[in-house]
Amino acid sequence: MNTTHKLMLAAIASLGLLSACGERPPVQTVQTGYRGTGMEQNYNPRLMKVVAERNQIGGIQPPADSSGPLAKDIYQNVQVLNDLSVGEFTRVMLSMTEWVTPAEQKNCTYCHNAENYSDGSKYQYQVARSMLRMTREINSQWTSHVKQTGVTCHTCHRGGPVPQYKWFTDPGSGRENAFVGTRAGQNSAITGLGMTTIGHSSLPYDPYTPFLLGDANIRVEGTKALPPGNRSSVKQAEWTYSLMVHMSESLGVNCTYCHNTRAWSSWEQSRPQRSTAWYGIRMVRNLNNGYLLPLTQVFPQHRKGPTGDVAKINCATCHQGVYKPYFGQSMAKDYPELQGAKKPPAAPADAAPAATPTAKKVIASADTSVRGRL
């Protein structure tokens, strides 16, 4: 448990003590840089109590026997978890029932046809299959962001069929004003138009479409005074800042969690978390385009947004108010079934073909080349 985590828990504990005295709990501060530089993280115990309740890991099924026949050889239409034993496969299915299905249902028929479990006609069945592929890809291909903590279905769903934190492309309906005309995608302080999307601020209300679905340039600050060729305007800076505010709120941190106050744009002087966030942006963008957009024709109309697009993910979908989901506790480590496809058993040594003289020369040459670079 690191210092930040300990201080968060202390802040939560102090809430009960101070409430008994009739006092408002103070904001807890973690210093992350030199004094006087503003390098600190601030935590409000009242808010931390709320996010702590929201970040409790879900139920974990007992480990399953990995021996025995494969699920694909026993059940029909097993396409994603076809490397798992029957026991492992059943364990994942039972876990998904607890993590994803509605509270009033909690059984397999949310996704499956009770008369024929291999029937894939329900949209939930098709979506679940795609989400299993996505989960395995995150845990095996995106360790640059999720590290060894990983994710499970519960990370986003938290016990419900639809994640609480998701987004649709916002067409801005009702946000424009007859007197000032278009607001260029910004929130408004005018009563009835709403200021609730990005930190209750007058910033662009949909930074997700250009940055977490598209690959619009996020960086607008130059490294030199009056740099030639930098066409970024104040308006473009507002879009970038809107994304940064979203990330700050999603993780429950301020800007200095990633950036250094003395050199905001410098990667060399940034905290390590900035690199993790960089990969996170690209991971979210990849998942939205690779797994969620292709489900547009699968989802029914009532599950789509005002422009007919499917729900997509952003930073809040997993983090839900804390710097690491569940404050860094890992559910994924208890689910090797979701870490990626199992590697097939290695062939016996005596079954390996002998290297020909030509192959031996190629191997020796490659080995020499690698050693030279090291």
What are the boundaries of each domain within the chain?
165-286
**For position 262, what pLDDT does the model report?**
87
Q: Which of 6-15, 236-245, 274-283 has the highest mean pLDDT?
A: 274-283
Q: Per residue in 81-124, pLDDT tens?
A: 999 999 999 999 999 999 999 988 889 999 999 999 999 999 99
pLDDT of residue 341: 85
Strand stretches in 120-231, DSSP E: none
- Lowest mean pLDDT segment, chosen from 49-58, 355-364, 365-374: 365-374
Question: Residue 171's pLDDT is what?
Answer: 82
Residues sharing a CB contact under 8 Å with residue 362, sequence separation 6 or more, in sequence order: none
Segment 334-361 shows an average pLDDT of: 64
State mean pLDDT over 286-298. 97
Which residue, among 172, 161, 155, has the nearest Cα to 206 in the 3D structure?
172
Task: Give the pLDDT of residue 364.
Answer: 46
pTM of the model: 0.82
Kindly tell me if the per-residue pLDDT of 293 is higher than 80.
Answer: yes
> What mean pLDDT do residues 274-291 have?
98
Rounded alpha-carbon distances, angstroms, from residue 110 to 53, 101, 183: 27, 6, 42
- The SS3 of residue 167 is strand
The number of beta carbons lying within 10 Å of the beta carbon of residue 316 is: 19
Question: String of b and e for 180-189 (b: at least 16 CB within 10 Å)?
Answer: eeebebbbbe
Evaluate if residue 363 carries a pLDDT over 80: no
The pLDDT of residue 118: 94
Q: How much of the chain is in helix, strand and coil states, percent to nearest 5? A: 45, 5, 50
Task: Read off the pLDDT band of 301 (50, 70, 90).
Answer: very high
Q: What is the pLDDT of the chain when averaged over all its residues?
A: 84
Of residues 299 and 196, more confidence is placed in: 299
Does pLDDT of 201 surpass 70?
Answer: yes
Q: Which residue has the higher pLDDT, 234 or 323?
A: 323
Residue 101: what pLDDT? 93
H helices of the chain, in order, are 3-20, 45-54, 71-74, 86-100, 123-141, 143-146, 153-157, 208, 234-251, 273-287, 315-319, 357-373
- Least-confidence region, from 23-27, 189-193, 234-238, 319-323: 189-193
CATH number of 165-286: 1.10.468.10
Question: Is the predicted pLDDT of residue 346 greater than 70, yes or no?
Answer: no
Residue 362's pLDDT band (cuts 50, 70, 90): very low
Give pLDDT tens digits for 151-190: 999 999 999 999 999 999 988 776 665 555 566 777 765 5
CA dihedral 267, 269, 273, 274 (to 10 degrees): -30
- Of 22-31, 57-66, 136-145, 203-212, the poorest mean pLDDT is in 22-31
